[in-house]
Chains A and B, each alone.
Chain A
Amino acid sequence: MHYLIIIFSILFLNHSVKAEKLTVYTYDSFVSEWGPGPLIEKTFEEKYSVDLELIAVDSAATLLNKVILEGSNTKADIILGLDMNLFNSAENSELFTAHNLKNINEKLNLPIEWNSEIFVPYNYGYFAFVYNSKKLKNPPKSMDELLNITDARIVIQDPRTSTPGLGLLTWMKILYGDNAQENWSKLNKKIISVTKGWTDAYYNFFMSGEADIVLSYSTSPAAHIMFEENYDISASIFKEGNYLSVEFAGILKSSKNKKVANIFLDFMLSDEFQKVIPSTNIMYPVTNIRLPNAFNELEIPKALQLNPKEINDYKDEWINEWLNAS
């Protein structure tokens, strides 16, 4: 009988001390072995005794579609990886709830002011066309040059599934307005493939030599400097400016772990989280922390950004323009 009581007690104890679980949907490169996911998961689990499950969805822009489709049945507590181009549609989806973090602007160091009470930013960067300076002798210095002069095989991402893809769509719109479709036609002649996500474009096409230029981030060369001491990979800083991308996370209304979810959002702004970002997600941190030396080699572009509401209102129309021009 005593043994039974001991066994039951152990089982009960085991059950009662079992860590709370927090499920985060994010994009594939975030959880890859070289991404920030594994390090962040380890630190967060050790610090808060929470079982953190990072689930990778193919590409960032499909994150929102996934939770819209899953609705209140989703097992995710947090969506991490949306960017400013999806800000308004995420807000309008009414799937997210307000966080309880206070005075986050005091901690933030962003090129824009952050006003949302629902979403919390965790890194930012600028979309840029990345190339190998050893192979591409005359890299474009402006979007105009890229469209009209540069002779290269380019790979971009689909704006319907990928945040860089959507970023390029809005970038073209901010630069060319009503003439965007005409300029898309010019660009499309040089595009050899439109991939679903960033990983496919960067590794399968650009790094393997199949494409000369890839749509990525102005910070991408830092990864090659840090890990390969390769200074050949460069990003084009356009004289018109590069489109700004601020990535953020939000808590879902359907989450049953809102308390832990808020702890995670707060953790995102901690030094432990932020110092991992530049060397793993190869983006700028959103707080004032010291950047790796490789980032000193990078030029900071002029930030371009459209109003998120305008993006949400006209996104379908702009995608249609892009499709018609392809």
Chain B
Amino acid sequence: MYKIYNYIVLSFFFLILLFPFLGIFSKFNYDYVEINDFLRNNYTKRIIFFSFYQAFISSLISCALAIPFALSLNHHKNLKFVRIIVSLCGFSFVIPSILIVYAVIKIFGYNGFLNTYFNFYNFISIDSIYGLKGILIAHILLNTPFATRLFFQNLNNIPNKYYEISSSLNISTIGNILKLEIPVIKQNLFAVFSIIFSLCFLSFAIVMALGGGPRSSTLEVAIYQYALFDLNFNKAIILSFIQIIICIFFISIGFYKFRGSGFFEIGDLTNKHPHKDLVFLKLIDFSLIFLFVIFLFSPIFFIFLETLKSNFSNIILDHYFIAAFKNSIIISFTTGILVSFFGFIISGILVVNHSNTLVQQTLFLLSSIIIIISPIIFSLGYFIYFQPLIHIEFVKFIIVILINAIFLLPFAILIFFNNLKNIFLTFQDYKKTYRINLINYFRIIFPLFKKNYLYVFSFSTVITFGDFTIISFFRSDSFDTLPSFLYRLISSYKFNEASFVSGVILLISMIIYFIIDNLNYQGKPVIKT
């Protein structure tokens, strides 16, 4: 009986992976000379170089800034406001990047808050934010809090015993930082750096909106531009393959291990740091925390302030806004429901078949392939394959939901699998002994993974809600989601309306995120991989 399920699940995975490739290969022109010319082209080389360069600089600065911030937060982790800051740091993983774009333009742009109010004697003198400068600022704002949260987790895991030993050895505060805390960060530095590097490498909305044109374009943006601006699918496909090869390299350096795993896992925060009461340390730490909070969370503060200032009576009844809002809600919640349901079913099948290594490994391999291929390539493939039907709104809904769901399923499986396996191994004998039928068995075990279920649902919903990459391929004037609508408002000089829309996106994302984060704080974290 289970065998049928195995084949259904395997075929399902094969099919969803097959569609984009069918699309891609149907349009690929195997002209060796053309491919060779394109690969030798200076611009192609520059895009690849720039993709690496901006990702390297962004992750370097993000990590460099995150280390002192994480150290300072760790010293005062028992304080309530530090807990809130750590929570907000995690929000950066789910915040829609288009909001960061909006905030960077409004805060750091030529007519931004800084240049308008703090440019004393032309001290700041921002000429233009577009290009590498804008990309770096946005990536730093997005990734430093995230890196801080990862480093903070590492620091928080240092056993109290170590501090007791260092205290008995009379090691000073600085010594503690250098000998105990920095080595822990150092151990994880490469992993954190590579995660951020990968995120920046695959960044789309930020490069698209702040890159300022082809000079500062990356592979992700170039694939989109070749496909939709030039209708040159061949070039887009060649770049997609280059990107896939690079992503395989990322996976091999351990990126896979981190995506979707213990990002939000925070241990017990009731431990007190032994040096938390030292006056000079307090002074340095609080100053650092203050400066970092002001800088790193400026987009959040700014968006809320601008939303309150905006005249939202104009936009709230605008039919484009209502349609985009409705689309966003339908797409994100349907994706959330689908991902949590199918994630559970697939994980369940994997667990039931835990002895069938072949099926299990094939499924894991297929879900890894999904992670390797970036959303832009999947979108390109589906876009090409379903081109004759793409103008039908219902088809767009289905495809956008499907692509979002495909990308989130591997994470869902990752989250469900271990917990379900433990439950299965614990309760399977009871099921057999008491001859409990499947429905009753499900009723009994459901409370045990309810939290995972809610977590997967909220996580998938919030990520889909903020998606800008997939929708870019399928959006039209009559089909927008809130992030693509916001991009349209920004590029058509409607900043009043943009303020309100960005506020709505931020508020909804934050509410869903805090549900997720709260799940991690209440007792046992939901993710244990």
User: Which of B92-100, B385-393, B456-464 lines the interface with chain A?
Assistant: B385-393
A194 x B212 contact (CB < 8 A):
yes
In the complex, A211 Cα to B477 Cα: how many Å? 28
Inter-chain contact B391/A70, CB cutoff 8 Å: yes
Given contacts A158-B213, A193-B213, contact A199 B391 (CB under 8 A): no
Say yes or no: A209 contacts B225, CB within 8 Å.
no
Interface with B: A94-102, A104-112, A318-326, which one?
A318-326
CA distance A252 to B318 in the complex (A): 31
Number of interface residues of B (CB under 8 A): 34
Q: A199 with B225: in contact, given A69-B231, A188-B215 (CB under 8 Å)? A: no
**Binding site secondary structure of chain B:** loop
Tell me how many residues of A have a C-beta within 8 Å of chain B: 44
- Say yes or no for B228: interface residue by CB 8 A criterion: yes
B212 touches A192 (CB 8 A): yes
Residues of B within 8 A of A66 (CB): 476
Chain B CB within 10 Å — which of A158, A193, A319, A322 has the most? Answer: A193
Residues 35-61 of A contacting B (Cβ, < 8 Å): 55-58
The listed residue (B111, B229, B232, B387) touching A161 by CB distance below 8 A is B229
Among A28, A56, A194, A322, residue most surrounded by chain B Cβ atoms (within 10 Å):
A194
CB distance from A268 to the nearest CB of B (A): 22
Give the distance to chain A from B319, nearest Cβ to Cβ, in Å. 14
CB interface residues, A 68-104, toward B, < 8 Å: 68-71, 73-75
What CA separation (Å) do A62 and B476 show in the bound complex? 11
Residues on A with beta carbons closer than 8 Å to the beta carbon of B229: 62, 65, 158, 160-161
A191 touches B213 (CB 8 A): yes
**Structural contact, A194 and B491, CB atoms closer than 8 A:** no
Q: Among the listed B111, B128, B389, which residue makes an inter-chain contact with A193, where contact means beta carbons less than 8 Å apart?
A: B128
Q: Contact check: which of A74, A188, A208, A323 meets B111 at CB < 8 Å?
A: A208
Determine whether the beta carbon of B127 is less than 8 Å from that of A153: yes
Q: Which of B30-70 contact A (CB under 8 A)?
A: 41-43
A204 is an interface residue with CB less than 8 A from chain B = yes
A8 at the interface (CB under 8 A from B): no
Instruction: Give Cα distance in the complex from A307 to B231, angstroms.
Output: 23
Instruction: Name B42's closest neighbour in chain A (CB-CB).
Output: A324
Q: Are A209 and B230 in contact (CB under 8 A)?
A: no
Q: Are B388 and A71 in contact (CB under 8 A)?
A: yes
A85 smallest CB distance to B (angstroms):
15
Shortest CB–CB separation between residue A255 and chain B, in angstroms? 15
Within 8 A of A (CB), among B207-222: 212-215
Most A CB contacts (10 A, CB to CB) among B42, B109, B128, B131 go to: B128
- Output the nearest chain B residue to A160 by Cβ-Cβ distance: B229
Q: Of the candidates A55, A65, A192, A197, which one forms a contact with B477 in the assembled complex, judged by CB atoms under 8 Å apart?
A: A55
Chain B residues lying within 8 Å of A69, measured Cβ to Cβ, are 231, 387, 390
Q: Is the CB of A209 within 8 A of B212?
A: no
Q: Is A144 an interface residue (CB 8 A)?
A: no
**0/1 interface trace, chain B 459-494, chain A, CB 8 Å (1 if under):** 000000000000000001110000000001011110
Do A65 and B391 form a contact, CB below 8 Å, given A210-B109, A323-B43? Answer: no
Most buried by A among B110, B111, B476: B110
A-B contact pairs, 23 of them (CB 8 A): A56-B477, A58-B491, A62-B229, A69-B231, A73-B388, A73-B392, A74-B391, A158-B213, A160-B230, A161-B229, A191-B215, A192-B127, A192-B128, A193-B131, A193-B213, A194-B212, A195-B213, A203-B492, A204-B491, A207-B493, A208-B493, A326-B43, A326-B215
Interface residues of B (CB under 8 A from A): 41-43, 109-111, 127-128, 130-131, 212-215, 225, 228-232, 387-392, 476-478, 488, 490-493
Q: 5 closest Cβ contacts across the A-B interface?
A: A194-B213, A203-B493, A160-B229, A193-B212, A210-B110
